[in-house]
Amino acid sequence: MSDQDSVQDVDVFKNVFKFYKSRNKIIDLSDVIDFNEVDNTRHHDKISTVNLKDNMDKVISPEDTMKPICEWEAYNVSACPGFIFIKNPFTPAGQRYWIQQCLRYYPCKPNISNLDAHVAPNSIDNMWTRSSYVDTHQNNSSKDLIDRLRWVTLGYHHNWDTKVYSESMRTEFPPNLSRLSKAVATATGHDKFEAQAAIVNFYHMHSSLSGHTDHSEIHMEEPIISFSFGQSAIFLLGGSTKAVPPVPIILRSGDVAVMAGASRSAYHAVPRILPTDNCHVADLYHDCTAADEAFGKYIASARININVRQVLPPGQKFMSSGDGSATT
């Protein structure tokens, strides 16, 4: 194989990423796996149904935000061993609850967000209080701040520069999100899962996330559990190198992606945010309280993704001195 060939191989993931990211043509979605169309014959050899463990009697529906497990629909993707897709298992009020947690509470201390570099914590605490998102006649500085929100980290805070977790950059993981993640983990057969770190991403209609693997966690045997709310996304799931052609999947509000087994360390990306193609998200806030109205307005042109990880090996409560350097 010539050098030229190997360079082309490495670029397969990037070429697919560019194809879906490109904004100067109508996007061809015919290859995208759409779990709203599971009966469509074009999907038949690509996906299969997964039987979940109905353990809700042991794991209480977290904050009462989910439908009973017997109503969840879950699928494998043949080309991506270990990956499990769960089609929106939330109630409408449940989705509103998690969207509110991500917008109103998770950006506040002790958590870390990109806004910390710009403003004092009390500005973040108060950014939703005057509902500046609804009343455009008010002072717009809160709306500006909200629009600048890009990420929040929870638990072991992701270090964007070194990608190494440390005990000195750890705060309490939100107990509600820990229960939610455990419920999903247990249903998909990972009943020892402990939520210890998360990144909450806030996407706008032109945002994207380029191809990467998540490998900062010391223990990689437990899954990454990823929740999507708001506008839809094209998610690319590849393999262990960028030479593996990624599978495009559409993720909609409420959908849960579990990256377990081989897919835990696979390349993945979000090349494109898509406007929701049905009334689903608008319906969520159709009849909502005044307090929720601002969140409804925000999410009408944004996507929130929460991805939750276990960092430590089973039973280990803290990082030991050698742990940080053990990751690359």
Q: Compute the least distance from the CB of residue 178 to ligand OGA, in Å.
A: 18
* Pick 16 or 59: Cβ nearer ligand OGA: 16
Query: Minimum distance from CB of 228 to ligand OGA (Å)?
Result: 6
Partner touching 305 among ligand OGA, Mn ion, none, CB below 5 to 8 Å by kind: ligand OGA
Burial string for 145-181 (b: 16+ CB within 10 Å, else e) reads bbeebebbbbbbbbeeeeebbeeebbeebbeebbbbb
307 binds ligand OGA (CB under 6 A): yes
How many CB atoms are closer than 10 A to CB 315?
A: 7
Hey, what's the torsion of the CAs at 135, 139, 141, 143, to 10 degrees?
A: 0
Residue 177 interaction partner, one of ligand OGA, Mn ion, none, beta carbon < 5-8 Å per kind: none
**320: phi then psi, degrees, rounded to nearest 5:** -95, 170
Q: Which is nearer to Mn ion, 219 or 297 (CB)?
A: 219
Closest residue to ligand OGA in the complex (CB): 305
Q: Which does 201 bind (CB under 5 to 8 A by kind): Mn ion, ligand OGA, none?
A: ligand OGA
Between 142 and 181, how does the x/- string for binding to Mn ion read (CB under 5 A)? ----------------------------------------
**184, 87 contact by CB (below 8 A):** no
* Sheet strands side by side (includes 232-237): 209-212, 268-274, 232-237, 247-251
CB neighbours of 162 closer than 8 A, spacing ≥ 6?
none
Distance CA 310, CA 257 (A): 15
Residues 212-251 that bind Mn ion (CB under 5 A): 214
Question: CA 230 to CA 299: how far, in whole Å?
Answer: 5
| Contact map string, positions 211 to 230, toward ligand OGA, x by CB under 6 A | ---x-----------x-x--
Residues of this chain that bind ligand OGA (CB under 6 A): 199, 201, 209, 214, 226, 228, 233, 235, 268, 270, 305, 307
